[in-house]
Amino acid sequence: MEDRLRLLYSLQKIDSSLDELRDLKGDLPKIVADLVQKVKERIGEKHALEETVKAALVRRDATDTEILSLREKAEKYKTQQFEVKTNRQYDMLAREIDAAQEAVARMTKELELLEGRATVARDDAARLVPEIETLEGELADQRNQLEAVNKEHEEEELKLKHEREKIVVRIKPADLTMYERIRKAKDGRAVVAVKRRACGGCYNRVPPQKVLELRKNDMFMTCERCGRILVSDEITEAASPI
């Protein structure tokens, strides 16, 4: 039993040190992740706008070609009108010419719309360029800061994680589950020492009878107020320094 308490206390010490390291990084990991997402979104928007420009231009060119061919056709009909023998043929050609001219007018309007659409999309895409550059600069800055913090504590962090792995395999699964549950609920601190007859977590007074029992190190005892696992000085003093 004493071993089980000792292992949990050691685990707590390691986790507290790892928590401290994580706090040193502060918001940097989240800031970096958010910026990565933002840059990705803006680049996606820019890409979509460029595709709009491309599609509008392809349609504009096709419309342009069509207009040219309709005009040619109209000219050809006009020439033919001089050569026809009957009024009926003449009228038929006149109707064809009208139809071609109407189509040209309609397509010319469409052409303007397509050009307008391409211009708007091109301008919007261009506006995104400096925004993306600013975001990328910011991302590089924050990334450098995070890397510097990571590098500074890399060795310590690796050592702690390694120690943690070694300890975790020796802890009973049920004990570990209990530890993780309390740790999650209690601000990362599941195992605390009793100092001057008070809980090291919430500073609530621990009754003398409980302090005496605690010293036997033969069962899990929790603080009546905060529910954290209490350990005796014997356990804390025996714990290897990390």
The CB-of-161 to Zn ion minimum distance in angstroms stands at 28
SS3 of 27-57 = CHHHHHHHHHHHHHHHHHHHHHHHHHHHHHH
Instruction: Select from 75-83, 92-100, 175-183, 222-230 the region that touches Zn ion (CB under 5 A).
Output: 222-230
What is the closest distance, in whole angstroms, from the C-beta atom of residue 202 to Zn ion in the complex? Answer: 3
Residue with tokens 């943690």: 164
The distance from CA 61 to its chain's CA centroid, rounded to whole angstroms, is 40
Q: Which of 223, 229, 231, 235 binds Zn ion (CB under 5 A)?
A: 223
How many residues belong to the site for Zn ion (CB under 5 A)?
7
Asked if 202 is part of the footprint of Zn ion (rule: CB under 5 A), the reply reads yes
Task: Compare residues 8 and 118 and give the one whose CB is closer to Zn ion.
Answer: 8
Interaction of residue 198 with Zn ion, rule CB under 5 A: no
**3-state DSSP of 49-66:** HHHHHHHHHHHHHHHHHH
Smaller CB separation from Zn ion, 65 or 204? 204
* Residue 191 within binding range of Zn ion, rule CB under 5 A: no
Choose one: 5-13, 22-30, 136-144, 200-208; the region binding Zn ion (CB under 5 A).
200-208
Asked if residue 190 binds Zn ion (CB under 5 A), the reply is no
Q: Show the tokens assigned to 51.
A: 């595709």
12 Cβ contact list (under 8 Å, min separation 6): 179, 183, 189, 190, 191, 192
Structure tokens at 201: 């977590």
199 binds Zn ion (CB under 5 A): yes
Q: Taking CB under 5 A as the rule, does residue 67 contact Zn ion?
A: no
Cβ-based nearer residue to Zn ion, 69 or 204: 204
Which residues touch 16 (CB under 8 Å, ≥6 apart)?
188, 189
CA–CA separation, 123 vs 118, rounded Å? 9
Residue 242 contacts residue 163 (beta carbons within 8 Å)? yes
Q: Cβ neighbours of residue 146 under 8 Å, at least 6 residues apart? A: 25, 28, 29, 32
Among 39, 191, 226, 231, the residue binding Zn ion under the rule CB under 5 A is: 226
Closest to Zn ion by CB, 14 vs 230, is 230
Q: Report, in Å, the least distance between residue 204 CB and Zn ion.
A: 5
Reading the block at residue 208, the tokens are: 């003398």
Residue from 6, 118, 183, 201 in contact with Zn ion (CB under 5 A)? 201
Residues that bind Zn ion (CB under 5 A): 199, 201-202, 204, 223, 225-226
